[in-house]
Amino acid sequence: MSDLVFENVGIRYGSGRSAHEVVRGVSFTVPSGRTVGLVGESGSGKSTLARAVVGLHEPYTGRIRVGGTDVVGARGSAASVRRTVQMIFQDANSCLNPRMSIGASIEEALAVRGRSAGRDRAQRRSEVCALLEMVGLDPARAGDLPMQLSGGQRQRVAIARALAAEPRILLADEITSALDVSVQGTVLNLLMRVQQRLDLTVLFISHNLAVVRQLCEDVAVLKDGELVEAGPATEVIDHPQHPYTHELVRAVPRIGTPLFGDGAAI
């Protein structure tokens, strides 16, 4: 079981007089094998919450558990359970070394997680090719540098790198927002495919409620670091109970709705 459970989580930045609380009393669960959306306006604490799961922030209160084990803290079971969690960021460049071929980057991720132990070079290469194929990239491109790829292709490499670690849980933080609309769909379809194929538990952070409605079974809504509403994505998005969720839904542009002004042609 790989449930991801947030229990009364509170996170602060800074210390002493400069400390400010950015996440307060957040509780919700991403059930094993499901995709839960996390939405809320910019600065509401979505990334902070996800980063706490991989140990980049330590909550000052509450618990974060994966499959029943507390992941807060650096030692013992916390560290080993955290290895089953991978985070994918908005900007694929942040996880790819510009001077390393994409194949070498993926191979490095295999090594970090101990998957290359006892395997010879040819076996590692064939794993890299399998991962590239899984994300829809031609294995013949393994020798390419990140700069030789498009933004969408780089994001696929970032996904392949995350999958190299054989995670049970993926934290996807705005993974398509740096991409052209035309390739966003391809990357999201890929995410859905691997989620189903590998039965992954996914926390999907996004500003795009239309995508969340389509991709996620459930959604949690954050406002100023607090959870204001959670439930089945279609229910929450189609019939929001909280005025804040209502505003978020209202802000989603619809086809035929002018993006600027009162119907001004653009």
* Residue numbers at the binding site for Mg ion (CB under 5 A): 47
Whichever of 107 and 174 has its CB closer to ligand ATP, that residue is: 174
Answer yes or no: are the C-beta atoms of 190 and 159 closer than 8 Å: yes
Answer yes or no: are the C-beta atoms of 160 and 132 closer than 8 Å: yes
Listing from the earlier edge strand, what are the strands of the sheet with 61-66?
Answer: 20-30, 4-13, 61-66, 69-70
CB atoms within 10 A of CB 117: 8
Size of the site for ligand ATP (CB under 6 A): 10
Residue 15 binds which entry of ligand ATP, Mg ion, none, with Cβ cut-offs from 5 to 8 Å by kind? none
Residue 146 binds which entry of Mg ion, ligand ATP, none, with Cβ cut-offs from 5 to 8 Å by kind? none
Quote the least distance from Cβ 168 to ligand ATP, whole Å: 23
Whichever of 42 and 182 has its CB closer to ligand ATP, that residue is: 42
Whichever of 42 and 94 has its CB closer to ligand ATP, that residue is: 42
With CA atoms as reference, report the closest residue to 162 among 86, 222, 233, 91: 86
Stretch touching ligand ATP by CB under 6 A, among 35-43, 134-142, 180-188, 189-197: 35-43
203 binds ligand ATP (CB under 6 A): no
**Which residues here bind ligand ATP, judged by CB under 6 A?**
13, 22, 40, 42-48
